[in-house]
Amino acid sequence: MVDDIKKKLVRALQEHETKAKKPRKTQKAASSKTSQAITGDNNLQTAGDVIGTTKERRFRSSQNKTTTQRIRGSGNVQVGGDLNLNTVKTNLNILPPPESIGADSLLKQRIMGLFDKIGQEREKRFGKTAYSVMYGKFKRDFKIPKEQKYTIIWTWPKECAPAIIEYLEEKYAGTIRGRIENASKKPGYTHTLPHLVRMEKELWSQLGHEWNSPEVKNFLKTYYGVSSHRDLTYLQQWQIVCHLEGLVKRIYNEA
């Protein structure tokens, strides 16, 4: 009795091992059938599996799809299955229209030069934000919408240029450097004492010195016998400004 039970157990184990050794049958991939027919001239026909990335085609091939399409006529496009189009971003350079400010290179250069002159002078006083503030003020004064850049003026008619140039020239004339240049064009022109002091500070800064630096104090002591600007007369203050303007002009001419 015991021997019979042992024999049955041995046979059961042998049958189990035999089944485990047999290779599993691979599952057949689902078929994807596309049936298309097209009649006519100048037509374009493509199957869906051709379009798209490799990963997308593999995914679609694993699906069980059957597509049947028929089309008649000319100049048609027929696509079977899924269509995948990838958008490519490109930067387009749009030329300014004819007879606009941007179409005139010299006129555009004149306006850009004025922007740069104003920006450089403002940057000396207000730092890196000078340019953005300047452009923002320009846009508000000329009623340019917030969502547009100031460069929209390059598309404006050339007849708008004189108004822009006049505006920018007035802004530059309001800078310290602009006031100095305007004053130097008027022989015998004198300023109020506070304005002369501001001019002197600006001129010293262009020469690389602070207004209250040891170099400036030594200048006052050597040429005027005083240790402070408070001890200068109006005439002496004016003479210092004239002297410094001459130095700055010579440096610019030699550069």
Number of domains the chain is built from? 3
Task: Give the number of other CB atoms < 10 A from CB of residue 67.
Answer: 16
Q: What is the pLDDT of residue 108?
A: 92
Which of 173, 200, 230 terminates a domain? The answer is 173
Q: What is the pLDDT of residue 50?
A: 45
DSSP secondary structure of 120-152:
HHHHHHHGGGHHHHHHHHHHHHTT--TTS-GGG
Q: In the chain, which residues have pLDDT < 70?
A: 1-10, 12-94, 180-190, 253-255
Check whether residue 201 and residue 249 sit in a common domain: yes
Check whether residue 184 and residue 249 sit in a common domain: yes
Check whether residue 151 and residue 127 sit in a common domain: yes
Q: What is the pLDDT of residue 235?
A: 80
Q: What is the pLDDT of residue 29?
A: 46
Per-residue exposure over 159-190, b if at least 16 CB sit within 10 Å of its own CB, e if not = eebeebeeebeebbeebbbbbbeebeeeeeee
Q: What is the pLDDT of residue 215?
A: 92
Q: Where are the beta strands (DSSP E) in 12-140?
A: 33-39, 44-46, 66-72, 77-79
DSSP reduced 3-state for 70? strand
Q: What is the pLDDT of residue 164?
A: 92
Q: Specify if 113 maps to a domain.
A: yes
Q: Specify if 160 maps to a domain.
A: yes
Instruction: Tell me the whole-structure pTM to 2 decimals.
Output: 0.41
Which of 173, 204, 226 terminates a domain? The answer is 173
What single letter denotes the amino acid at residue 136? G
Domain span at residue 232 reads 179-254
Segment 109-147, tens digit of pLDDT: 999 999 998 888 888 878 888 888 899 999 998 889 989
Q: What is the pLDDT of residue 11?
A: 72
Q: Specify if 223 maps to a domain.
A: yes
Q: What is the pLDDT of residue 81?
A: 55
Check whether residue 140 and residue 194 sit in a common domain: no
Q: What is the pLDDT of residue 150?
A: 93
Which of 173, 199, 226 terminates a domain? The answer is 173
